[in-house]
Structure 1
Amino acid sequence: MPLTPLDIHNKEFGRRLRGYDEDEVNEFLDQVIKDYEALIRENKDMQNQVLGLQEKLNHFMNIEETLSKTIIVAQNAADEVKTNSKKEAQLIVKEAEKNADRIINDSLAKSRSVAIEVEELKKQASIYRTRFRSLVEAQLELLKDESWDSLEDPKRLVAAE
């Protein structure tokens, strides 16, 4: 068990012949008691300070652990968001490709339809042209007919009657 200032104060030494000066010994013991008490107080203050620092250290270690966990959670969330974004982007691209294919197919179908219509119109125009040419040729044949000559000469008209 450690020595206390009270133990030092209450310590009695046996007396002998030609012993030490009692006043000097008592003064020295008083000084030892005073210094020892100061060291004990200082030791208690340091122990309290160590406890306070230990509490702060524990507090900061808890904060560090919490921050580490938070960073891990945030990283996991960021990874998940990134993964989801990639998946969503792929879905958007696939949907856009489907729409593009549909638009291309619709355009090709319309283009074919227009081409068929153009060909039909060309055929109709050719038929119309042929019929018109036939009509014009028939009219020219009528104009070339000599019966028109009789209409031009009034004497022939009367004789024909």
Structure 2
Amino acid sequence: MPLTPLDIHNKEFSRRLRGYDEDQVNEFLDQIIKDYEAIIRENKELQNQVAASQDKLGHFSNIEETLSKTIIVAQEAADELRGNAKKEAQLIVKEAEKNADRIINDALSKSRKVALEVEELKKQATIYRARFRALIETQMELLTQDGWDSLDNREPRGIEA
């Protein structure tokens, strides 16, 4: 067990002949007591500072560990978010491609339908023109027949002069 200032203060030495000067020894012991007390106080303060530093170190270690875990979680969340965004973008692109294909197919179908209708209308126009020409030619034949000339020379019936 280490010495305390009280142990030093209460220490008594036996007396001998031709021993040390008692006043000098007492003064020296008083100085030792003062220095020893100062060292003990300083040691206590340093121990308190070490304990406080260890507490702070523990606190900062906990903060560091928490921050590390938080960073890892944030990185994982960012990676997951990036992956989800990529998947969603791919789905959007596929959906857009499907819509584009559908629109193109609809347009092609309508274009074919219109082309068929145009062809049908051309055929009907050709038939109509042929029939109209035949009608006109028939009417022209009627007009050019000899029977019309005889009608022009006859007198009107029922009107007598």
For 2:89, the aligned partner's letter is A
Q: Number of residue pairs matched? A: 157
For 2:123, the aligned partner's letter is K
Unaligned runs of 5+ in 2: none
Give the RMSD, CA atoms, in angstroms.
1.3
Return the offset for 1:54: 0.5
Aligned to 1:120: 120
Rounded Cα–Cα distance in structure 1 between residues aligned with 2:148 and 2:50: 140
Q: Deviations over 1:80-129 (max 9, x none)?
A: 01101111111111111111111111111111111111100000000000
Aligned to 1:38: 38
Rounded Cα–Cα distance in structure 2 between residues aligned with 1:26 and 1:134: 157
Sequence identity (%): 76
Aligned to 1:55: 55
Rounded Cα–Cα distance in structure 2 between residues aligned with 1:85 and 1:33: 76
User: Larger relative CO (CA 8 A, sep 6+): 1 or 2?
Assistant: 2
Rounded Cα–Cα distance in structure 2 between residues aligned with 1:50 and 1:153: 148
Over 4 Å off, 4+ runs: none
Rounded Cα–Cα distance in structure 2 between residues aligned with 1:29 and 1:66: 54
Rounded Cα–Cα distance in structure 2 between residues aligned with 1:150 and 1:25: 182
Report the TM-score when normalising by structure 2: 0.92
Unaligned runs of 5+ in 1: none
Report the TM-score when normalising by structure 1: 0.92
